[in-house]
Structure 1
Amino acid sequence: MKNKAIISFNKINRATIPHYYDYAIAIEKVIEALTKRTGNLYNIYSFEEDWEMIYSALEQMLQNKTDDIEVISPIFDHISSRKIHGSDSEGYSITPSESNNLLYFPTYDVAYANIQIYQSHADYPHDFIFAQDDESVVTFMKEMVEKTRSFMLDGITVLTDTEDGLERSQEEITNQIQRDDVLLEEIVKRDIFRSIDEFFSKSGTFFKTYNIPYKRGILLYGNPGNGKTTLVKSIAGSVKAPVIYWQITEFTSSYSIDEVFQTAKKMAPVILIIEDIDSMPHESRSVFLNALDGATSKDGIFLIGTTNYPERIDPALINRAGRFDRAYEIKQPDEKLRRNYLLKKQVSQFVAAEVVDEIATKTKNLSIAQLNELYMSMALQWHYDKQVDVDKIIEELKENHRKTMKQDWEMEDFDDRLGF
Structure 2
Amino acid sequence: MKVLFSNEEQFRELHPNYEDFAILTRRVIKLLNENYEGNWQLVDIGDHIIQLDNSLIEMMENELIQYKILGNIYEAKPLSKIANKSSLSMESKLEIVSTFENTVILFPEYQVAVTMAFNFSGGNAWPEYFFFSTSPEGALYFLEEINEKLRELLMQSVTYLVDTEHGVQRRKYGEQAAVQREEVLLENHIKQDIFRSIDEFFNEDGHFFKEYGLPYKRGILLYVPPAMEKQH
SS in structure 1 of the partner of residue 20 of structure 2: helix
- Please give the residue correspondences for 1:232-381 in structure 2 after superposition, counting only pairs within 5 Å: 266-273=214-221, 306=223, 368-369=228-229
Q: Which residue of 2 aligns with 1:16?
A: 14
Aligned mates of 2:121, 2:100 — CA distance in 1: 22
Match of residue 100, structure 1, among 93, 99, 102? 102
CA 1:131/1:90 → structure 2, altered by over 3 Å: closer, same or farther?
Answer: closer
> What TM-score do the two structures reach when normalised by structure 2?
0.73
State the 1:169 CA deviation. Answer: 4.6
Aligned mates of 2:161, 2:79 — CA distance in 1: 25
Read off the aligned partner of 1:170 and give its amino acid letter: R
Q: How large is the Cα RMSD of the aligned pairs?
A: 3.6
Read off the aligned partner of 1:171 and give its amino acid letter: R
Aligned mates of 1:133, 1:23 — CA distance in 2: 21
Contact 1:157 1:168 in 2 (8 A): no
Which has the larger Rg?
1
Aligned mates of 1:159, 1:32 — CA distance in 2: 43
Q: Which residue of 2 aligns with 1:170?
A: 170
Aligned mates of 1:47, 1:128 — CA distance in 2: 9
Match of residue 147, structure 1, among 149, 152, 164? 149
For structure 1, the 5+ residue unaligned runs are 161-166, 183-188, 208-260, 274-303, 310-366, 373-420
Q: Which residue of 1 aligns with 2:115?
A: 113
Read off the aligned partner of 2:18 and give its amino acid letter: Y
Q: Which residue of 1 aligns with 2:45?
A: 47
Aligned mates of 1:112, 1:56 — CA distance in 2: 12
Match of residue 179, structure 1, among 180, 184, 191? 184
State the 1:368 CA deviation. Answer: 4.1
Residues 198-234 of structure 1 show CA distances to partners (whole Å, capped at 9, x for unaligned) of: 22226466x9xxxxxxxxxxxxxxxxxxxxxxxxxxx
Q: Which residue of 2 aligns with 1:70?
A: 68
Aligned mates of 2:33, 2:159 — CA distance in 1: 39
SS in structure 1 of the partner of residue 199 of structure 2: helix
CA 1:204/1:94 → structure 2, altered by over 3 Å: closer, same or farther?
Answer: closer
Aligned mates of 2:37, 2:126 — CA distance in 1: 30
Read off the aligned partner of 1:27 and give its amino acid letter: T
Read off the aligned partner of 1:8 and give its amino acid letter: S
Aligned mates of 1:84, 1:113 — CA distance in 2: 18
Q: Which residue of 2 aligns with 1:201?
A: 199
Q: Which residue of 2 aligns with 1:398?
A: none
Contact 1:59 1:97 in 2 (8 A): yes
Aligned mates of 1:109, 1:84 — CA distance in 2: 28
Aligned mates of 2:52, 2:168 — CA distance in 1: 12
Aligned mates of 1:269, 1:307 — CA distance in 2: 23
SS in structure 2 of the partner of residue 267 of structure 1: coil
Aligned mates of 2:168, 2:148 — CA distance in 1: 17
The structure that is helix-richer by fraction is 1
Match of residue 25, structure 2, among 24, 27, 52? 27
For structure 2, the 5+ residue unaligned runs are 86-90
Contact 1:86 1:92 in 2 (8 A): yes
- Please give the residue correspondences for 1:224-239 in structure 2 after superposition, counting only pairs within 5 Å: none
Contact 1:47 1:127 in 2 (8 A): no
State the 1:178 CA deviation. Answer: 4.1
- Provide the aligned length of Structure 1 versus Structure 2: 209
Contact 1:41 1:132 in 2 (8 A): yes
SS in structure 2 of the partner of residue 172 of structure 1: strand
State the 1:4 CA deviation. Answer: 2.7
Q: Percent identity?
A: 17
Aligned mates of 1:46, 1:269 — CA distance in 2: 24
Aligned mates of 1:168, 1:138 — CA distance in 2: 32
State the 1:159 CA deviation. Answer: 9.8
State the structure with bigger RCO (CA 8 A, min sep 6), 1 or 2: 2
CA 1:60/1:168 → structure 2, altered by over 3 Å: closer, same or farther?
Answer: farther
SS in structure 2 of the partner of residue 199 of structure 1: helix
Contact 1:198 1:204 in 2 (8 A): no
CA 1:11/1:110 → structure 2, altered by over 3 Å: closer, same or farther?
Answer: closer
State the 1:100 CA deviation. Answer: 1.3
State the 1:191 CA deviation. Answer: 2.2
State the 1:155 CA deviation. Answer: 4.4
CA 1:104/1:50 → structure 2, altered by over 3 Å: closer, same or farther?
Answer: same
Aligned mates of 1:308, 1:168 — CA distance in 2: 18
Contact 2:113 2:131 in 1 (8 A): yes
Moved over 6 A (4+): none
Q: Which residue of 2 aligns with 1:82?
A: 80
Contact 1:43 1:133 in 2 (8 A): yes
